[in-house]
Amino acid sequence: PYRFTKQDEEKQNRWKIYNAILEKYVNFCHEELVTGKYPEVIEYLNKRKITKKEIIFFKIGYASSKEDFYEQLKKEFNEEQINSSGIYYFDKNKKKYVDRFRNRIIFPVKSLNGSVFAMGGRTLSKTIFAKYINSPETEFYKKGNNLYNINAAKESRGNSEEVFIVEGYMDVINLHKFGIQNVVANLGTAMTERQLELIWRFFKNPIICLDGDISGQKAALRAAERLFPLMKADFNIYFLTLPENLDPDSYINQRGKESFLKFTESKIEIQNFIWDSYY
């Protein structure tokens, strides 16, 4: 039998601290947003058709550069513990720790059992080059191992063997708003083997939804060729290409749930998708 070693115990303790820091940060940013301190952020979310209900369900928050939550955390945790959370980095010029997500909308990323272990941040500024950033890799968060919303999506699997795999946070949130709960996002990584295994644990028929643009198409073909050798009996992968440069978020908001679900019937199996791309 497996013996629980001292190393395991230490890792378990590090995880508890890591998770506590992230949860506190996420709760703080969420409170900041829902108490209405930043009307311009609420206005942006409304423009993206995100309702208060979704803000609460996904615990969306806002990290303002006016607030210094680092000082709060210091009362409870030491420098090394806070650093390992990946939220802050040391700015040599300012000689202080700076919030990597400052001035960004915060999307908590949860593990299978619903604990926050990473996040994404979306800037409202038109001038900042990186529209979205994600947590850096840490001891507990590895890119390409996880999917946004898998913790909630897996609860809906009784209804269907299908799950929609979309690209971004907004796509997940807007499909969810229309009552489509079997939806996850691969967070800016090309779909990995580990993500596919994770999906197949809960859903036999994943449908990879692609934006209708050319770069989306090319990325999809690369993904299909990489995933094809992993195929196994009774498990499928489908591809669905959205029309006219729409992404799932804009499609469902413009045309509604019925139209979206009807359109998904045009999905094609991975081998046909690869074949059609070449011939």
- What would the 3-class secondary structure string for the chain be? CCCCCHHHHHHHHHHHHHHHHHHHHHHHHHHHHHCCCCHHHHHHHHHCCCCHHHHHHCCCEEECCCCCHHHHHHCCCCHHHHHCCCCEEEECCCCEEEECCCCEEEEEEECCCCCEEEEEEEECCCCCCCCEEECCCCCCCCCCCCCECHHHHHHHCCCCCEEEEECCHHHHHHHHHCCCCCEEECCCCCCCHHHHHHHHCCCCEEEEEECCCHHHHHHHHHHHHHHHHHCCCCCCCEEEECCCCCCHHHHHHHHHHHHHHHHHHHCEEHHHHHHHHHC
Distance of CA 143 to the CA centre of its chain: 11
At 49-87, the pLDDT tens digits run 999 999 999 999 999 988 889 999 999 999 999 999 999
pLDDT higher than 90, residue 14: yes
Q: How many Å apart are CA 151 and CA 163, to the nearest integer?
A: 13
CA geometry: angle at 39 spanning 34 and 42, to 5°?
Answer: 60
Please list, in sequence order, all residues whose beta carbon lies within 8 angstroms of the beta carbon of residue 18, skipping any fewer than 6 positions away: 81, 84, 85, 117, 138, 139, 140
For the segment 179-190, the average pLDDT, to the nearest whole number, is 88
Out of 74-78, 139-143, 240-244, 257-261, pick the least confident: 240-244
Please list, in sequence order, all residues whose beta carbon lies within 8 angstroms of the beta carbon of residue 272, skipping any fewer than 6 positions away: none
- For residue 133, what are the β-bridge partners? 121
Asked if 169 and 107 touch (Cβ cutoff 8 Å), the reply is: yes
pLDDT higher than 80, residue 89: yes
pLDDT of residue 159: 67
pLDDT higher than 90, residue 272: yes
Q: Which two tokens stand for residue 115?
A: 């604990």
* pLDDT level of residue 12 (50, 70, 90 thresholds): very high
For the segment 155-180, the average pLDDT, to the nearest whole number, is 91
- The more confidently predicted of residues 237 and 189 is 237
